Amino acid sequence: MIHDFAIVWNERALLLNGLANTAMLSTLAAIAALVLGFILTPALMSKRRAVSGAAQIFVDGMRCVPFLLFAYIVYYGLPSFGVRLDNWTSGLAALTIYNAAYMAEILRGAWVVQPREPIEAGVAFGFSEIRLFRRIILPPLLLSAGPVIGNQMIQIIKDSAFLTIIALPELTHAASSIQSRHYVPFAAFITAVFLYWGLCLVIEAGVSSIGRVAEARR
């Protein structure tokens, strides 16, 4: 068993590369999904039925489809329409689009419980448009939604593992590669498990500090 772990240690470059890919992919997807979510949420709450209806269908649709299936559709299905993406791009696209729906729901939930008066005060004091959004609306919204967004981020990391299916060189793929070449399944995968756990703890630490910042203002 120690010997197995020694083999894994020798392959640490591959493993760390996988970890970096997982972290980078997840972070990019999370940010992109959040930005898309900020566009979707007003659409969800729009008074125009066509807009809110379309947005709701998208959100409900993404929540009813398994991510792995959606990733397959993006990777294998898009070429039917002439759009051929490499595995990194389609993986990122799938993660982003899929989680944008969840981010939109999270943001909507956070928005609904925001008190309106401070925002009205912002308007009364001359804030408008982008400045109003950036300095008056956004900060309390993010502080309130922080923990839930953090949870979604963990979900994104776990979904990214599915992309091993399309041969994306993320962490699980790296562990699989090591185990299939050296026959050290336990050592390889348990190391991957600990690395995922580590990522998760980092995010939870981040969420805790956001929680503390929010608590001081509550």
Partner 1 sequence: MSGSDIAAIFQGAIVTVTLSLIGILIGLPIGLGLALIRWANLPIGAGIVTLYVSMLRATPLVTLLLLLFFALPNIGVPINPISAAILALVMNTSAFNCEVWRSALMNFPKDQYEAAQSVGMQAGQRFRRIVLPQIVRVSLPGLVNEMSLLIKVTPVLAVVGVVDITRAAVRIGAQTYEPLPPLLVAVALYAPIVFALVSLQRWIERRQIAAEAAA
Partner 2 sequence: MAEFSKVLDVAGVSKRFGDVEVLSDVSFQVDKGETVCVLGPSGSGKSTLLRCINWLERPDAGQIYLNGERVGINGAGIIMSDRDLSQIRTRIGMVFQHFALWPHLTVLQNLMEAPVQVQRRPKAEVRDEALALLAKVGLSEKRDAFPARLSGGQKQRVGIARALAMRPDLLLFDEPTSALDPELVGEVLVVMRDLAREGMTMVIVTHEMGFAREAATRVLFLDRGRAVETGAPDRFFSNPETERARQFLQRYAGDTAAGRR
Q: Is 72 in the site for partner 1 (CB under 8 A)?
A: yes
The number of angstroms, rounded, from the C-alpha of 185 to the middle of its chain's C-alpha atoms is 28
Q: Least distance in Å: CB of 129 to partner 1? A: 35
Measured in whole angstroms, the distance separating CA 11 from the mean position of its chain's CA atoms is 28
Tell me the C-alpha distance between 186 and 184, whole Å: 6
Find the shortest distance in angstroms from Cβ 92 to partner 1: 17
From CA 143, how far away is CA 113, in angstroms rounded? 12
- Comparing CA positions, the residue from 53, 55, 93 lying closest to residue 73 is 93
Interaction of residue 217 with partner 2, rule CB under 8 A: yes
Number of residues engaging partner 1 in binding (CB under 8 A): 41
Rounded CA gap, 174 and 14, in Å? 6
Q: Does 47 bind partner 2 (CB under 8 A)?
A: no
For position 127 contacting partner 2 by CB under 8 A, the verdict is: yes
Which among 51-59, 79-87, 131-139, 201-209 is the span making contact with partner 2, rule CB under 8 A? 131-139
86 binds, among partner 1, partner 2, none (CB under 5 to 8 A by kind): none
> CA-CA distance, 81 to 84, in Å (whole number)?
8
Q: Kindly state whether residue 174 participates in binding partner 2, applying the rule CB under 8 A.
A: no
Closest CA to 106 of 72, 174, 160, 155: 155
Binding site for partner 1 (CB under 8 A): 60-61, 63-69, 72-73, 76-77, 79-80, 154, 157-162, 164-165, 171-172, 175-176, 179, 183, 185-186, 189-190, 192-193, 196-197, 199-201
